[in-house]
Chains A and B, each alone.
Chain A
Amino acid sequence: MLESLFPNVEMEDMLTATYETLYMTIISVAGTFILGLMLGLLLYLSSPGGLWQNRTLNMVTASTVNVLRAIPFIILILLLFPFTDFLVGTIRGPKAALPALIIGGAPFYARLVEIALKEVDKGVLEAAKAMGAKYRSIIFKVLLPESMPALISGITVTAIALIGYTAVAGAIGAGGLGDFAYFYGFQRSDWDVVLACTILIILIVFLFQFVGDSLSRRLDRR
């Protein structure tokens, strides 16, 4: 049945492409989570009234984040070619897509982190201060746990954007389902291949959304 619906789809190649997409997504989501969290914390803590209130630091971070977010992803990949080459040793394949994915995703996530942190109850922060908590305790025991559901929803949204980015990266040779759909489907006019890739990407998006939603819900004790 599958044979007749998708006559041109080679199962093994398809699996490889799916694996590559998953690889790029998972690693870049992890990288984005860490880098975005750090940037978001920096934005929040250095803002006026924050724990590390610092005008210069806040302005530098905010501008970096804004500039990186303003660059269209496809251009960002091109701009990062020298950096990627230096870091990974090649500009082709799934691994080479990671720097661009993370640098593209982190500033976006950083803003979501900042919003999540701003939602933490000021009273609770004050209570922690009144107990004589160190900044480290306030960050790791109060700020992050109290904003965790929003941090998880934020990374879910970011992950889905990143899946889209992996397909874009595919168009310039990163591998994965986007690459496969373009070179093996579109250029050979094998539309069943394009369709199969699309279905697989949608399934991956649904998977991430489902995992993110249920995790966020489970953590929310409010």
Chain B
Amino acid sequence: MGHITFIEHSGEQHTTPIEEGKSLMQTAIDNGIPGIDADCGGVCACGTCHVIVDETWIDAVGVANDDEIMMLDLTPEKAKTSRLSCQIKTTAAMNGMIVRLPEFQM
């Protein structure tokens, strides 16, 4: 099954089980991870599910597509490995992955 670790801006860590095929955003919400608002419900239109993927994991996850980049450009906290978690489908290959939350969602 595997797990993914979310690290809040404060440093607090939360580990969630992977349910393959579920989006990373939904995984976070279903496990009560604070700091993800998901105002648009997961359709890449609000930017409030922003996560920063640990650099060593970005290849496994893939980079943002054009629509996603446009939304990410709206947040001042955008980093090189920023993604919108609603656009990431979790897979078993993500076992052990670390993603960080920004200080604020926009």
* A, B: real partners: no
- B: residues with CB less than 8 A from A are none
- On A, residues with C-beta under 8 Å from B are none
